[in-house]
Chains A and B, each alone.
Chain A
Amino acid sequence: GAVVSQHPSRVICKSGTSVKIECRSLDFQATTMFWYRQFPKQSLMLMATSNEGSKATYEQGVEKDKFLINHASLTLSTLTVTSAHPEDSSFYICSAREGEGSGNTIYFGEGSWLTVV
């Protein structure tokens, strides 16, 4: 089946710095990718929808200037957490849709643990 790769799986950064997380669709083109955040023992919360070649669509309450999303190609979307603070520490997961004509199957990356110290 289709594979979505997310990198890094774990990252620790200092407060005030920025960190980038990559999401790649390895064997299919993804015009749309999604970024979720998951707090401990909670469900996945959709942060934003990443559209290739256009601006991301952010969910209400998500700061677009803090969580920068870039979808530069059909196989890569990146999430950059800018000026990170300890409260940004969380598990971030991306997913990608395998095209409109394939039944709208969505595949998930392995997730990235972000710890801000």
Chain B
Amino acid sequence: AQTVTQSQPEMSVQEAETVTLSCTYDTSESNYYLFWYKQPPSRQMILVIRQEAYKQQNATENRFSVNFQKAAKSFSLKISDSQLGDTAMYFCAFMKHGGGADGLTFGKGTHLIIQP
């Protein structure tokens, strides 16, 4: 079974600052996917970024980037130039490669607050 750990229950930064959310995971799988999801107060789950474990290059989506360290089983999310709209719960998630019947395993989440 997989586990995903987010050790920061809550973080708060000023607008325009850079913030890094941490995530570690444990798995015996060699190939898998990692995700960061954002959940604003509306509760809609929004995919922020995803990383295939077999790719060495860190994924980037505009202001969002990850630092994927496969050997350390670490998958942190960096948000640059943070905006008020980034305030939300952020969940790190794991999924085995090959899909099939396996869903996402989520961490407990980090509540990110962007202060004006």
Is B71's CB within 8 Å of the partner chain A? no
Is A106's CB within 8 Å of the partner chain B? yes
Residues in B neighbouring A91, C-beta threshold 8 A:
43
Q: Show 30 residue pairs from A and B whose CB-CB distance is below 8 angstroms, ordered by the A residue.
A: A32-B100, A34-B103, A34-B104, A36-B103, A38-B43, A42-B109, A43-B106, A43-B108, A44-B45, A49-B101, A49-B102, A49-B103, A57-B101, A91-B43, A93-B45, A95-B45, A100-B98, A100-B100, A103-B52, A105-B47, A105-B50, A106-B103, A106-B104, A107-B47, A108-B37, A108-B44, A110-B42, A110-B43, A111-B43, A111-B45
- B: which residues have CB within 8 A of A? 33, 37, 42-45, 47, 50, 52, 91, 95, 97-109
Query: Are A44 and B44 in contact, with the CB atoms below 8 A?
Result: no
Query: Are A95 and B99 in contact, with the CB atoms below 8 A?
Result: no
A59, B50: Cα distance in complex, Å: 25
Give A31-66 interface residues, CB cut-off 8 Å to B: 32, 34, 36, 38, 42-44, 46, 49, 51, 57
- A: which residues have CB within 8 A of B? 32, 34, 36, 38, 42-44, 46, 49, 51, 57, 91, 93, 95, 97, 100, 103-108, 110-111
Shortest Cβ distance from residue B92 to the other chain A in the assembled complex, whole angstroms: 10
Considering the complex, give the chain A residue whose CB is closest to the CB of B102: A49
A46, B45: Cα distance in complex, Å: 14
Among candidates A42, A51, A95, A110, residue contacting B101 with C-beta atoms closer than 8 Å: A51
Query: Are B44 and A46 in contact, with the CB atoms below 8 A?
Result: no
Query: Are A42 and B100 in contact, with the CB atoms below 8 A?
Result: no
Among candidates A43, A46, A103, residue contacting B103 with C-beta atoms closer than 8 Å: A46
A95, B35: Cα distance in complex, Å: 14
A49, B104: Cα distance in complex, Å: 11
Residues in B neighbouring A108, C-beta threshold 8 A:
37, 44-45
Contact (A104, B97) CB under 8 Å given A43-B106, A46-B104, A95-B103:
yes
A46-B103, A49-B102 known, 5 other contacts, Cβ within 8 Å: A32-B101, A42-B109, A46-B105, A103-B52, A111-B44
Query: Are A100 and B99 in contact, with the CB atoms below 8 A?
Result: yes
A57, B91: Cα distance in complex, Å: 24
